[in-house]
Chain A
C-alpha cells in the first residue's frame, strides 16, 4: 500500500517536473495553442494504436503510435507555417486530420471490439490513480530525454520567439529548432497523456508557464517547475480525499489558480 502511494505521488512529482520544463518555453514562444491542439493528434494516434493492437493484433505500444502521430502532424503544421501558411490555418489542418483519425478509428474499433472504447477512455481520463512502475518508467524516460534538450535549446527558442528574422539572419536554423521543440512537446505530451490522461494534460500544460510569467517579469523557470509540481501533488491529494480521478483534482486546482491569477491582475 505504502509503495503504491509513494509510486503515485512520485509519478505526480515527476510529471510536474516534466510539465514545468515544457510549459515555460511554450508560453514564451507562443506555442500554447499549438501544444493544446497537439493533444488532438495524441488522442487520434492513441485510438489508431488501440485499433492496430486490438483489432489487427499488432503489438505496437499505444504511446508509440500516439507519439509518432503527434510528431508527424506537428511537423506537418510546422512545415506549413515555414511555407507561409498562417499559423491558425496550419493548426486547423492538423486538428482536422487528427479528429478524422479519432472519429474513423474509434468507430471501427468500437464496431469490431467490445474493449477498445474502454481502453480509449483510459487514455482520455488517465490511468494514474493506480500508478504502476511502467507508468513511472515512461515518464522518467521522457523526462531524461526532454528536460535536458529543452534547457539546451531554450535560449534559441527565446531568440526565435523574440525576432524570427533576426535569428535567421544570425544563422540559427529556425526550422530545425521548431521541429525539435514541437517533437519534444509531442513526446512529453503523449507520454503524459498515457498516464495522467489527455484531459488533464490539456488542463495543466499552459498554467505553470503562465503563472511564472505573471508572477515574475523575467519568467522564472523555477516558478514554472514549482507550480507544476504543486498542482500535480495537490490535485492528486484532493482527488484521493473526495474520491475522484486525479485528472479531476488537477483540473480543479489549475482552474482555481487561473482564477486567482485573474483576480491578482484585476487587483494589480
Chain B
C-alpha cells in the first residue's frame, strides 16, 4: 500500500459551474493536513471526491494507492468521515450510542443489532473523545460534544485516514482549540492521518500542519509558515484586505 494521498489534475463541475480545476497535490503519510480556502472554494467537493461520493470529470485521486470509486470497499475500510455539522439533520432523534454504532454496524448486514462487542467498542472510542453518556441524545449535546460524537463514529472503524469537513465551524474558540488538539493527539498517538477542510486555520496553526490553499485550484501547499504568506492569501481570497494589525478577509475568515 502506498503511504500517500494524491490528487492528479482533478477537475469537477456541477453542471456548468466549476468547482475544482486541475487540483494536484501529493501528501505522504504521516500527515496532519488542513485544506484552507473561502466559501465555495471546492473544499467539500474535494472531500467528497476523496470519499468516492463524487467522480471527477477529469483527473484522479488515490487514497494510499486506491481509487475511491473503483476500490470503494478498500477506501471505506481505510477512511473515517466526519461531516460538517450543518449538513446533518439534527431533528432526527438519535442517541450517541446509535450514532457511533453506525460506524461499526456498516460492516455488518441487516438486521444490524448493537451487540455487546459493539457496545464495548463504543465505550472505548467514547472514552477517547471524552463523552460520558452514550444514551444522551445527539441533539442534547453541546456543539463541542456533537463534534466529538461524530469523530467517535469515524474512529470506531479504526481508520488510517480521518477526513473532516469544517470540524471547527459553529464552535467557540476554546472548543475549536480542544477539537484541534484532539485531532493532533489522534494523529500522534494512533498514527491516524488527518485531512481536514476549514475556512479558518487559527486553532491548529500552532500544531504545524501541512496547509493546502485552495480556491477551485491549489494556490500553495506546504508548511503553514510557507503557505500563509500575504501574496498567497491575496490570490486565494479575492476579498482580502491588509490592515496594520493583521488580516481581515472578505467573509468571516479572519
B residues near A153, Cβ cutoff 8 Å: 110
**A156-B110, A162-B89, A218-B137 are contacts. A168–B53 as well, Cβ < 8 Å?**
yes
Q: Is the CB of A155 within 8 A of B137?
A: no
Nearest A-chain residue to B139, judged by Cβ = A217
Q: Is the CB of B93 within 8 A of A166?
A: no
Asked if B111 is an interface residue, CB under 8 A from chain A, the answer is: yes
**A163-B83, A165-B83 are contacts. A170–B93 as well, Cβ < 8 Å?**
no
Q: Is the CB of B92 within 8 A of A171?
A: no
B residues near A161, Cβ cutoff 8 Å: 89, 92
**A162-B89, A165-B48, A166-B153 are contacts. A171–B83 as well, Cβ < 8 Å?**
no
Nearest A-chain residue to B99, judged by Cβ = A162
B residues near A122, Cβ cutoff 8 Å: none
A residues near B105, Cβ cutoff 8 Å: 155
The minimal Cβ–Cβ distance linking B144 to chain A, given in whole angstroms, is 18
Main secondary structure of the interface of A (DSSP, over half): helix
Q: Is the CB of A217 within 8 A of B93?
A: yes
Give the CA-CA distance A8 to B55 in the complex, in Å. Answer: 55
Asked if A72 is an interface residue, CB under 8 A from chain B, the answer is: no
A residues near B103, Cβ cutoff 8 Å: 170
Which residue, of B93, B95, B103, B105, has the highest number of chain A Cβ atoms within 10 A?
Answer: B93
Q: Is the CB of A170 within 8 A of B102?
A: yes
The minimal Cβ–Cβ distance linking A76 to chain B, given in whole angstroms, is 22
Q: Is the CB of B112 within 8 A of A166?
A: no
Give the CA-CA distance A219 to B139 in the complex, in Å. Answer: 13
Asked if B94 is an interface residue, CB under 8 A from chain A, the answer is: yes
Give the CA-CA distance A163 to B98 in the complex, in Å. Answer: 13
Range class of the A interface residue count: 20 to 34
Q: Identify B112's interface contact among A156, A171, A219, CB under 8 A.
A: A156
The minimal Cβ–Cβ distance linking A107 to chain B, given in whole angstroms, is 40
Contact with B along A153-175 (1 / 0, CB 8 A): 10110110111011111111000
Which residues of A (124-163) have their CB < 8 Å from a CB of B? 151-153, 155-156, 158-159, 161-163
Give the CA-CA distance A146 to B106 in the complex, in Å. Answer: 23
Contact with B along A2-13 (1 / 0, CB 8 A): 000000000000
Q: Is the CB of B95 within 8 A of A218?
A: yes
A residues near B115, Cβ cutoff 8 Å: none
Q: Is the CB of B88 within 8 A of A162?
A: yes
Q: Identify A159's interface contact among B87, B93, B102, CB under 8 A.
A: B102
Q: Identify A171's interface contact among B48, B73, B89, B95, CB under 8 A.
A: B73
Q: Identify A28's interface contact among B73, B93, B110, B111, CB under 8 A.
A: B93
A residues near B48, Cβ cutoff 8 Å: 165
Q: Is the CB of A217 within 8 A of B137?
A: yes
Nearest A-chain residue to B163, judged by Cβ = A169
Q: Is the CB of B87 within 8 A of A172?
A: no
List, sorted by A's number, 28 A–B pairs whose CB atoms are closer than 8 Å.
A29-B92, A152-B110, A152-B111, A153-B110, A155-B105, A155-B111, A155-B112, A161-B89, A162-B89, A162-B94, A163-B87, A165-B81, A165-B83, A166-B81, A166-B88, A166-B102, A168-B51, A168-B53, A169-B51, A169-B52, A169-B53, A169-B79, A171-B76, A171-B106, A217-B93, A217-B140, A218-B93, A218-B137
Interface residues, chain B, with chain A CB atoms under 8 Å away: 48, 51-53, 72-73, 76, 79, 81, 83, 87-89, 92-95, 98-99, 102-103, 105-106, 110-112, 137-138, 140, 153
